[in-house]
Amino acid sequence: MSKEHGTLKVTIVEGRNLKDEDVVGKNDAYVEVYLDKDYKQRTKTIRNSNNPKWDEKFTFNLQRDHDDLHLHVYDDDTVGKDSIGSAKIDLRKHDFAKGAYDEWVKLPALLGLRSKGEIHVIIDHHT
């Protein structure tokens, strides 16, 4: 991806097979999305589902040093939040001139041996 400024439109579509190892049963999942950790946006919490559907859109202004989009998935808990998993998408590896990034992003477990689920993400870049 070229280093021009522009707008990133991110759609967090849904999750599947989300696993929080501390919890038996279903998650109350939400996703934090950011390019810069000082400006995080988040989805609503979907209760009692390991396959939540958010279908929420977020807009970010791209700066020159924004190379990665970060995704953190949490289980909303009465005493705080438990991390389900996280991933980052290297924006430089996708040619947005050929269309939107539309992928299922894996949430790798420790050492990448197991997956903690996947998040369906669509990213569009506008200059």
Across all residues in the chain, what is the average pLDDT? Answer: 89
Domain positions in the chain: 6-126
Does pLDDT of 22 surpass 50?
yes
Asked whether the predicted pLDDT for residue 107 surpasses 90, the reply is: yes
Take residue 38 and report the two structure tokens written for it.
Answer: 């000082």
At residue 1, the pLDDT reads 44
pTM of the model: 0.90
* More confident position, 64 or 11: 11
* Span 68-103, pLDDT tens digits: 999 999 999 877 788 899 999 999 999 998 999 999
> What pLDDT, on the 0 to 100 scale, is given for residue 112?
62
Q: Would you state the pLDDT for residue 110?
A: 73
pLDDT of residue 59: 96
Per CATH, the number for 6-126 is 2.60.40.150
User: Helix/strand/coil (H, E, C) string of the chain?
Assistant: CCCCCEEEEEEEEEEECCCCCCCCCCCCEEEEEECCCCCCEECCCECCCCCCEEEEEEEEEECCCCCEEEEEEEEEECCEEEEEEEEEEEHHHCCHHHCCEEEEEEEECHHHCCEEEEEEEEEEEEC
How many alpha carbons fall within 13 Å on the CB side of residue 122? 9
Q: Which pLDDT does position 86 carry in this prediction?
A: 94
Q: Which residue has the higher pLDDT, 62 or 22?
A: 62
Q: What digits encode the pLDDT tens for the residues 29-55?
A: 999 999 998 999 999 999 999 999 999
